[in-house]
Amino acid sequence: MKFRSRRMIVGTMGTVAVCLLGVVLASGQAGQQPRPQMAEEVFKNVQILKGIPVDEFMDTMGMFAAALSLNCIDCHTPESSGSWDRFGDDTPLKRTARRMMSMVNTINKDNFAGVRNVSCYTCHRGDLRPKVVPNLALQYSVPVEDANEVEIVPVSGGPTADQIFDKYIQALGGTQRLANFSSFTGKGTYIGFDTEQTKVPVEVFAKAPAQRATIVRPRIGDSTRVYDGRAAWVAASDKPVPLLTLTGGNLDGAKIDAVLSFPAQARIKQLFAQWRVGSTSINDREVRVVQGTNPRQPPVNFYFDDSTGLLLRTLRYVDTPVGRVPTQTDYSDYREVSGVKIPFKWTATWTDGQATTELSEAQVNVPIDAAKFARPAPARPR
C-alpha cells in the first residue's frame, strides 16, 4: 500500500478556548463526579449538543473555530472572554450555527446513511462564508501538499509495518536497551495558547509500561495532565471544570502518548488491530507512514523518517457531533540519554491551539513517586 498526498486548500486556523453554541458554567456543577460530566450538566444554553462529555464538547467548539477561522469572542460576546457566565448569551452566529448543524445532520442522514462525510469544514474551509465562485488563481497554482491529507492506493514492494517498527526500535537504542528502560523524568519549558505564548517551566514524568504525567507551571497556577494506565484527566484553571476527565479519542491519545514514552514494538503493535503502510513527505523528507486502525474508531498515523527511522509525527482524531477533529504531534531533537534516544522537543497542534515542550534535561530509570500518576486534585479557580 502507499499513501498519496492530496491537494487541499489551506485555511487560516482560529485560536479558541470555547466557541459558538452558547455556554455558561452552571453554578454548582463543576465538582468531581465518578463519571465524565456531560455538556448540559456543566454549561447553560446547550440546545443541540447534549449528551456528550465536556472534553468532546470543547473539541466541537474547536471544529467550529477551525472551519470558520473565528475565535471565541467572534461567536460569543466580547464580555465572555472574562467570564464563563457570559458564554451563554445568544448571538446571531450561535443561532446560525444551530441551524447549520441541523442542515449538515440532514445531509449526512439522507445521503450517507448517517455517516459524517460532510462537516462544517467541507464547505467553509477556513472562511466564514463558503465560496460559490471558482478561484482561478488556486486552480492553476502549484498544489499545496499536506502530509496529513493522505489516501491509501495499492502499490507493491516497500517495507512492512514490522520492518518499520523494527528500524524505529533500533534507531532508539535497540531492543535490549529499551527493555531495560523503565522510567524517565524531564524538565524544560512549555509555551502555548494556555500560557499566553510565554515560556513557562514544565516537568514530565513517565513510567513503563504506560503511565505519564505532565505538569505545566504558568503564573496563574499549575496545569496537570495525567494518564494512569487506564484513565486520564486534566486539572487546569483555564478549563471549564477544575478537573476534566478525558474520554473517547482524547483518552486514546493520552494512552498513545504514554505508550510511545516506552516504545517496545510489542506495546505499539497491541494498540491497533490492523496496520497499513504508505509513504509521503514532510519538509521534503521522505517519510514512511504506518496507519493503525481499530473497529469503529478513527485511524492513527505514525510518520517515520525513512532515513533515520525515528518517529517524526503522530496524527490522531477525535470524533465529535460535527466531524473529526485532528491532533498532530511533531517530535524532534532526539538526544541519547543513558543509551536511549528521547525526543527533547515536541509540538502538539490541534484546532484550539498549539503548544511546544522543550526539555533541557532528562533522566532515565529513576524512581518516581506513584502519586505523580494518581488522579490530580481539581485546579483552583483563577
Each residue of 49-60: pLDDT tens digit? 999 999 999 999
Integer Cα distance of 262 and 117 in angstroms: 36
For 2-20, letters b (16+ CB in 10 Å) and e give bbebeeeeeeebbbbbbbb
Query: Does the pLDDT at position 24 exceed 60?
Result: no
Instruction: Determine the pLDDT at residue 90.
Output: 87
pLDDT per residue as tens digits for the range 218-265: 988 899 999 999 999 999 988 888 999 999 999 999 999 999 999 887
Could you tell me the residue ranges of all domains in the chain? 8-124, 153-373
Give the distance, in angstroms, between the CA of residue 245 and the centroid of all CA atoms in the same chain. Answer: 15
Query: Does the pLDDT at position 10 exceed 50?
Result: no
Query: Does the pLDDT at position 78 exceed 60?
Result: yes
Instruction: Determine the pLDDT at residue 75.
Output: 85
**Better-predicted residue by pLDDT, 295 or 11:** 295
Integer Cα distance of 149 and 145 in angstroms: 8
Query: Does the pLDDT at position 136 exceed 50?
Result: yes
The whole-number average pLDDT for the span 108-112 is 93
**Better-predicted residue by pLDDT, 260 or 71:** 260
Query: Do residues 173 and 365 touch, judged by C-beta distance below 8 A?
Result: no
Instruction: Determine the pLDDT at residue 343.
Output: 97
Integer Cα distance of 258 and 303 in angstroms: 17
From the list 77, 113, 88, the residue with the least C-alpha distance to 25 is 88
Please enumerate in sequence order all residues whose Cβ is within 8 A of that of 200, keeping only pairs 6 or more positions apart, or say none.
Answer: 189, 190, 191, 216, 217, 218, 219
Tell me the β-bridge partners of 285.
282
Instruction: Determine the pLDDT at residue 1.
Output: 38
Query: Do residues 355 and 347 touch, judged by C-beta distance below 8 A?
Result: yes
From the list 332, 314, 326, the residue with the least C-alpha distance to 352 is 326
- Report which secondary-structure segment, H or E, holds 197: none
- Report which secondary-structure segment, H or E, holds 34: none
Phi, psi of 138 (to 5 degrees): -70, -40
pLDDT per residue as tens digits for the range 296-328: 899 999 999 999 999 999 999 999 999 999 999
Residue bearing cell 520492518: 163
What percent of the chain has pLDDT above 70?
A: 88
The CATH superfamily assigned to 153-373 is: Lipoprotein localisation LolA/LolB/LppX (2.50.20.10)
Instruction: Determine the pLDDT at residue 153.
Output: 58
pLDDT per residue as tens digits for the range 255-291: 999 999 998 877 888 899 999 998 888 988 899 999 9
Instruction: Determine the pLDDT at residue 34.
Output: 61
DSSP-based three-state secondary structure for 299: coil
pTM: 0.86
Please enumerate in sequence order all residues whose Cβ is within 8 A of that of 238, keeping only pairs 6 or more positions apart, or say none.
Answer: 17, 194, 220, 223, 382
Query: Does the pLDDT at position 19 exceed 60?
Result: no
Query: Does the pLDDT at position 140 exceed 50?
Result: yes
**Better-predicted residue by pLDDT, 37 or 80:** 37
Integer Cα distance of 133 and 283 in angstroms: 32
Instruction: Determine the pLDDT at residue 151.
Output: 66
Integer Cα distance of 275 and 160 in angstroms: 9
Compute and round to an integer the Cα radius of gyration of the chain: 21
Integer Cα distance of 351 and 326 in angstroms: 7
From the list 363, 336, 377, the residue with the least C-alpha distance to 205 is 363
**Angle, to 10 degrees, between the axis of helix 248-260 and the axis of helix 54-68?**
90
pLDDT per residue as tens digits for the range 173-218: 999 999 999 999 999 999 998 898 999 999 999 999 999 999 999 9
Integer Cα distance of 63 and 67 in angstroms: 6
